[in-house]
Chain A
């Protein structure tokens, strides 16, 4: 009698939990889709608008689909209209940005790897202080160093040049890249370095032959981070460069804000997408290593 009663009540509970689980699952999907569309929506508007003609933009709403695939505004954003004065377009600035971002990412990553290596594997007296001061660099608001930096660049004779921007971005990248590499190398057993020292390898040989070959995950993380930071930077670009030396984000701003005639939303949107594409490419190519590099670290020997 008692057994029967119990088994029936268990059945009831089972049924109940089944409904609860189903409800929660649907609710979860609903929330996820909601958030996903929240993030995708602006991109959709940008792409759609960039493909419309001005006529269509004026007549339709934000969401209406373009009548035909029309890449004219992309061409204008990239290469200009072909008339002389006052025609701003992205191509030269895009190359400015490339010339700035490649060396800056390379140097900041390399130097960060080196400092991370020293701070973990060649400990010296006061190394915690060095690391602490480097960490400070991560928290200093960039606005605070604009003036002294401008002075420094002026003294060095490299203000308003791509070289100057490379220097600025390298210096301000080092705290972050050092942090990444230090945290990665701290999980690499120091015995590896000891073994290599007994085998007769020196400071640089150990770095290049033993540590760098196992640093791929963290190099990817650092490169993505630095690339995004430097490519998207507007503050340093607009402060330390103008005219022809400006990086793409500054040019984009000039282009959108300084139009004298009618606002060309389709060209503006196309320009914004062009300015954002390189970071997207980096993420797509290296994204899976990004997560892996952030979460892993331990190297099993």
Chain B
């Protein structure tokens, strides 16, 4: 039994296609993050799961039950919104129990739930306050509390942290993670922030233009992006994509960048398909943090590159390098002194590279 299953789901607003044939499954207790740039359809997908938007094609199942035409209140879900959406005229207590009251829950049960959740979230001292008298973090907590008291099957979060300042955001992120660890409820969480996605999700579904690009664990998303969009979207700065082609002869396979004669051996790369590799035009993907200043592994490939620019950002520096007229970035500790306009010896960690087809942009 899947807690949530989405089948061949499509949605359009007029002639604009927002979601295209989405398929998605979540197991009990998982934390799924929908990640993507603005306008990719992730919030629409969440609203559809909640029942706040209609569906054009496809179905949504909760616990194997088709809820596509079920009202939001009957779907056994709860949602936390970006603007918190606390009812301004009600105090914290009334906000939290509004849903239970609508569902005609008994007074004793309401009191019990309120007591339990408000102490758990440490808002028990704020029950009589109006939302306007709360700080951003407290509002966030009350909004989560309002969702918690209903003991839903699935929690939906719609960019809950993006209205908070940077410091509070990191704190609340940790609290949400803690919350999930303790409650083990299934969560669907929408964000455009990759750090949030990486740190919270047990699975991440990366979306672009209404299509899921990759739906895997954070580790796989980071290490094995399935196409150039994912490679570019995840990581900061994003993965270097060097244009070039593959050379294959008998047992050896290597990469040559455009306008370069240097052969980078990639014999250990785990190709999806082994045929037709010779002369294939590809992107050679390597993350800035996988270019080293010192040789770390036996297989690291040494290469001479010219440094053009160095950006100091505290604990590290981002150096712009020239790889036969293609600009690439590398991340080094800021303690290393870089001489600009000069070639230096660097090391590519070949265990962490990704190769993509130049035409289809897919991982090979």
Is A199 on the interface with B (CB-CB < 8 A)? yes
**Hey, which chain A residues are within 8 Å of B52, CB to CB?**
194, 197-198
Q: A197-B52, A199-B73, A301-B131 are in contact. Are A210 and B81 (CB under 8 A)?
A: no
Q: A197-B72, A198-B73, A198-B79 are in contact. Are A189 and B85 (CB under 8 A)?
A: yes
Is B98 on the interface with A (CB-CB < 8 A)? yes
Residue among B78, B85, B131, B132 with max Cβ neighbours from chain A (10 Å): B85
Give the docked Cα–Cα distance between A196 and B95 (Å).
10
Which residues of chain B from 60 to 104 have any CB-CB distance to chain A below 8 Å in the complex? 72-73, 77-79, 81-89, 98-99, 102-103
Is B42 on the interface with A (CB-CB < 8 A)? no
User: CB distance B99 to A199 under 8 Å?
Assistant: yes
Is B139 on the interface with A (CB-CB < 8 A)? yes
User: CB distance B85 to A301 under 8 Å?
Assistant: yes
User: CB distance A198 to B139 under 8 Å?
Assistant: no
Is B144 on the interface with A (CB-CB < 8 A)? no
Total contacting residues, chain B, CB less than 8 A: 27
User: CB distance A199 to B132 under 8 Å?
Assistant: no
Residue ID in chain B nearest A299 by CB atoms:
B88
Residue ID in chain B nearest A188 by CB atoms:
B88
Chain B nearest CB: distance from A195 CB in Å?
4
Is A171 on the interface with B (CB-CB < 8 A)? no
Give the docked Cα–Cα distance between A250 and B89 (Å).
43
Chain A nearest CB: distance from B153 CB in Å?
13
Give the docked Cα–Cα distance between A83 and B158 (Å).
76
Taking a contact as CB atoms closer than 8 A, the residue among A191, A192, A199, A209 that contacts B82 in the complex is: A191
Is A213 on the interface with B (CB-CB < 8 A)? yes
User: CB distance A201 to B98 under 8 Å?
Assistant: yes
Is A25 on the interface with B (CB-CB < 8 A)? no
User: CB distance A189 to B72 under 8 Å?
Assistant: no
Give the docked Cα–Cα distance between A209 and B89 (Å).
8
User: CB distance B88 to A194 under 8 Å?
Assistant: no
User: CB distance B85 to A192 under 8 Å?
Assistant: yes
User: CB distance A199 to B83 under 8 Å?
Assistant: no
Q: A301-B88, A301-B131 are in contact. Are A198 and B83 (CB under 8 A)?
A: no
Total contacting residues, chain A, CB less than 8 A: 19
Give the docked Cα–Cα distance between A121 and B205 (Å).
30
User: CB distance A198 to B77 under 8 Å?
Assistant: yes
**Hey, which chain B residues are within 8 Å of A205, CB to CB?**
102
Give the docked Cα–Cα distance between A210 and B90 (Å).
8
Is B50 on the interface with A (CB-CB < 8 A)? yes
Residue ID in chain B nearest A195 by CB atoms:
B85
User: CB distance A301 to B99 under 8 Å?
Assistant: no
Give the docked Cα–Cα distance between A160 and B281 (Å).
88
Chain A nearest CB: distance from B143 CB in Å?
8
User: CB distance B88 to A195 under 8 Å?
Assistant: no
**Hey, which chain A residues are within 8 Å of B47, CB to CB?**
194
Which residues of chain A from 52 to 101 have any CB-CB distance to chain B below 8 Å in the complex? none
**Hey, which chain A residues are within 8 Å of B86, CB to CB?**
301
Give the docked Cα–Cα distance between A192 and B99 (Å).
13
Give the docked Cα–Cα distance between A192 and B77 (Å).
16
User: CB distance B73 to A200 under 8 Å?
Assistant: yes
Give the docked Cα–Cα distance between A210 and B86 (Å).
10
Residue among B77, B81, B82, B131 with max Cβ neighbours from chain A (10 Å): B81
Is A130 on the interface with B (CB-CB < 8 A)? no
Chain B nearest CB: distance from A26 CB in Å?
43
Contact with A along B115-153 (1 / 0, CB 8 A): 000000000000000011000000100000010000000
Chain A nearest CB: distance from B10 CB in Å?
19
Give the docked Cα–Cα distance between A300 and B99 (Å).
21
Residue among A191, A201, A213, A214 with max Cβ neighbours from chain B (10 Å): A191
Pull 24 A–B residue pairs with CB atoms less than 8 Å apart, ordered by A.
Answer: A189-B83, A191-B81, A191-B85, A191-B158, A192-B85, A194-B50, A194-B52, A195-B81, A195-B146, A197-B72, A197-B73, A198-B50, A198-B79, A199-B98, A199-B99, A200-B99, A200-B102, A201-B98, A209-B89, A210-B89, A214-B89, A301-B84, A301-B86, A301-B88
Known: A198-B72, A199-B99, A301-B88. 7 other contacts (CB 8 A): A197-B72, A198-B73, A199-B146, A205-B102, A213-B89, A301-B85, A301-B87
Using a CB–CB cutoff of 8 Å, the interface residues on chain B facing chain A are 47, 50-52, 72-73, 77-79, 81-89, 98-99, 102-103, 131-132, 139, 146, 158
